[in-house]
Structure 1
Amino acid sequence: MSSTPPPELQFSRNLLDTFIRAALIAILVYSCYQVFHPFLSTLLWSLILAVTLYPLHRIVKARLGNHDGRSASLIVVLAITVLLVPVYFLGASLTQSVHVAIETVKNGTLHIPPPPASVEQWPLIGPPLYAFWVQSTSDLTSVLQSVAPHLKGFALGLLSKLAGIGAGFLVFMASLVVAGVMMAYGESGHKSAMRIANRIIGPDRSNSFIHLCTATIRAVAQGVIGIAFIQMVVIGLGFVVMGIPGAGLLAMVILLLGIMQLPLPLVTIPVIAFAFFTEGTSLATIVFAVYTFVGGLLDNILKPMLLGRGVDVPMPVILIGALGGMLAGGIIGLFIGPVVLAVGYKLFWQWVDAGQAPVIIDPPESADQVAPQIRQG
């Protein structure tokens, strides 16, 4: 004859089993995260690129006989080629410039022209800048020796930044390849996303939230890339008209800086200074300076217009999510931030509206209905 344990003991056993299972699940989740963590950034970039490029993938697939693999491979090859060409020319130009500078210093043919007398009259920085410039024209070697200790830390920091940019570029290339694989299996990936969303938020709302996430990613990506392309055309046209050396290469640098959300004055201000130094102060250089400076600020005007297109969420939510995500997580946060904020915004208002009866406001009575009541009164 089997005896059943008392309810208190049975409850204790169930509670202990629950804690053990929860602890095992937590250990499993933590272990999976540790294994998955080195590839997290790459896979997030791959997902963003796959979602952004998938409409183009469907168009190309229809023209290639509905072959997913061929279409995805073609898009990835073209994207890598488009990215590698400006990077190659940029690297070649930098290498040649450094080589010429080193040879000039070795041969002793580097001569700095004397400063104009007007430089000394500049407020605050004029006298020390004039003295430093004069010393550089007469004894450049001693000047370089005096500033070398200060330039060492700057050079090391710059090399570290360049190494980080190079590593990030390689990660982006790998993400493009993985994104091609995701696009090739896009339909099965969409079904998997639907199954996960059905489990988390229910089948009645899963489709709308998946559409919201994909539309937000595409709006941000197309807005960022589109704005960068517009600025490249506008500023690059000014470089060509003004006759700036390497205008095409500088325009490609503008495009890359726009995509990476780096400030364009890093390029435009030195180019404006070069134009004034070589051409002097004239109406053409003043117009070029104003035109280039305004072109570098176009993103502040275009972002509010393009970032929220096609998304069922107010534009300020997308803009705040993009800016806050970029400050918190870098470039990848530019895409994750709007998605998180948009989903949170929709969930908040669905929670507010849940269980509330619609408020019906009676229309105001017309004058014809009010007049008899006044006469009866």
Structure 2
Amino acid sequence: MDSLAEPIDPRARRQRQAKLVLSVALASFGLWLSATFLPALIWAAIIGIAIDPLYTRAECRWPGGRKALLPATATLLIALLVLAPLALGIIEAAREAHVLIEWWANVRANGVPEPEILKHLPMANEMSVWWQQNLGTPEAAQQFHAFRTSMLLQHSQLVGKGLIHRAVVFTFTLIALFFLLRDRDLLVAQLRTAAARVFGPSGGRIGHQLILSVRGTIDGLVLVGIAEGAVMAIVYLIAGVPHPLLLGTLTAVAAMIPFGAAVLFGVASALLVGAGSIGWAIAVFAIGMVVVAIADHVFRPVLIGSATRLPFLWVLIGILGGVETLGLLGLFVGPAAMATLILLWRDYFADGIIDGLVQPVSPCDPPPPDCD
């Protein structure tokens, strides 16, 4: 005869319940306190996952630098990788500041000169008259003075606060990345244990899928975007677009967002149209759209879809939905979240198929026999 189970001590049960309530309360309070810095922590985790293969090789080659040298070196390289293009843009903007000031003074004194392209468009006379009445004279150009000093000051304050906030988040991301790389082995072991306790045997597969999704997204978005920017920088240089290197860098950044590079193609084409190079403007935009079509329909589905095991439609939903909800961070979080959701969905119905709860039916299968 089986022995009866020992009754649970009411005192021990109350202690476990109190511990659970306290843990949930402290976890919620901790998330509330760190809400401002959660994006920085997520960015640090994404960067750590992205560079993990290279960092592992570096650890195997220089095992003595695991505690300080290698994490500091990797963090410094990431900082330079982000700050170098930003510094390039600031330098180029500073070089062109005097040109902008001279143009602004000329507009205030003489109005906006009529573009040469208007003379070759349909309804050229009507458009020329409209331009002279609205932009072509100093009196008409007075509408540019609508930007009041107070408005400019207000916008400058908003921009300044945004830059300060992003600088703080970026600095904290670098600090978090350093400690993440330094204590990587311990953190990975703790996460594996937690996943096994919460999700059971499938916890390891879920974590592995998250890592693959982040890496695949980075390969498909960042690397392909950089390749698009490099190709278009060469096209800009050949076509005579002003500042081809800077515009190519901006194109690479915009190309990380689906259909974002087309905006930069339009800017480059507009600059060429303003310079009178209509043929090159059309060629630049056409070449750019061909490059985007090849990248979005050939390389990105292979790189992202193979890693996330998602149809490209769900990849696109994850990317665009993530960008709309979380901004730039959503580029990488969105596809990873969609991949994990689809993995759980497939596991759930796979269990149903195995247990006989769900039977896949093909339209080519013969109909079931009539019960009559």
Name the TM-score, length of structure 1 as normaliser: 0.76
What is the one-letter code of the residue matched to 1:300? D
- Which of the numbers 287, 290, 294 marks the counterpart of 1:291? 287
Distance 2:119 2:75 in 1: 53
Measured at CA, do residues 318 and 263 of structure 1 come closer, stay the same or move farther in structure 2, by a change above 3 Å? closer
Q: Does 1:330 align with 2:348?
A: no
Cα contact 2:114–2:136 (8 A) shared by 1: yes
Q: CA offsets per residue over residues 234-262 of structure 1, 9 Å max, x none?
A: 21110111122311121112223334668
Distance 1:216 1:121 in 2: 49
Distance 2:117 2:276 in 1: 18
Distance 2:256 2:172 in 1: 17
Aligned residues: 346
Cα contact 1:225–1:259 (8 A) shared by 2: yes
> Secondary structure at 2:306's aligned position in 1?
coil
What is the one-letter code of the residue matched to 2:75? V
Partner of 1:370: none
Distance 1:329 1:75 in 2: 26
Cα contact 2:37–2:169 (8 A) shared by 1: no
Cα contact 1:49–1:176 (8 A) shared by 2: no
Q: Does 1:254 align with 2:251?
A: yes
Measured at CA, do residues 315 and 102 of structure 1 come closer, stay the same or move farther in structure 2, by a change above 3 Å? closer
- Which of the numbers 209, 214, 230 marks the counterpart of 1:233? 230
What is the one-letter code of the residue matched to 1:227? V
Measured at CA, do residues 165 and 258 of structure 1 come closer, stay the same or move farther in structure 2, by a change above 3 Å? farther
The structural deviation recorded for 1:34 is 1.9
- Which of the numbers 138, 145, 152 marks the counterpart of 2:142? 145
Q: CA offsets per residue over residues 88-116 of structure 1, 9 Å max, x none?
A: 12112223323333255458787754455
Distance 1:126 1:293 in 2: 33
Between 160-169 and 238-247, report the one with greater CA deviation: 160-169
What is the one-letter code of the residue matched to 2:77? L
Distance 2:359 2:290 in 1: 50
> Secondary structure at 2:96's aligned position in 1?
helix
Partner of 2:199: 201
Partner of 2:85: 86
Output the aligned Cα RMSD: 3.8
Distance 1:176 1:260 in 2: 24
Partner of 2:365: none
What is the one-letter code of the residue matched to 1:201? F
Partner of 1:187: 185
Structure 1's unaligned 5+ residue stretches are 1-9, 362-377
What is the one-letter code of the residue matched to 1:41? P
Partner of 1:300: 296
Measured at CA, do residues 289 and 351 of structure 1 come closer, stay the same or move farther in structure 2, by a change above 3 Å? closer
Measured at CA, do residues 163 and 338 of structure 1 come closer, stay the same or move farther in structure 2, by a change above 3 Å? same
Distance 1:151 1:272 in 2: 31
Partner of 1:45: 43
What is the one-letter code of the residue matched to 2:189? K
Q: Does 1:174 align with 2:180?
A: no
Partner of 2:53: 55
Distance 1:300 1:338 in 2: 15
Please say which structure displays the higher CA radius of gyration: 1
The structural deviation recorded for 1:329 is 2.0
Name the TM-score, length of structure 2 as normaliser: 0.77
Q: Does 1:101 align with 2:97?
A: no
Distance 1:87 1:117 in 2: 34
Distance 2:194 2:169 in 1: 27
Measured at CA, do residues 171 and 258 of structure 1 come closer, stay the same or move farther in structure 2, by a change above 3 Å? farther
Measured at CA, do residues 177 and 327 of structure 1 come closer, stay the same or move farther in structure 2, by a change above 3 Å? same
Distance 2:45 2:171 in 1: 13
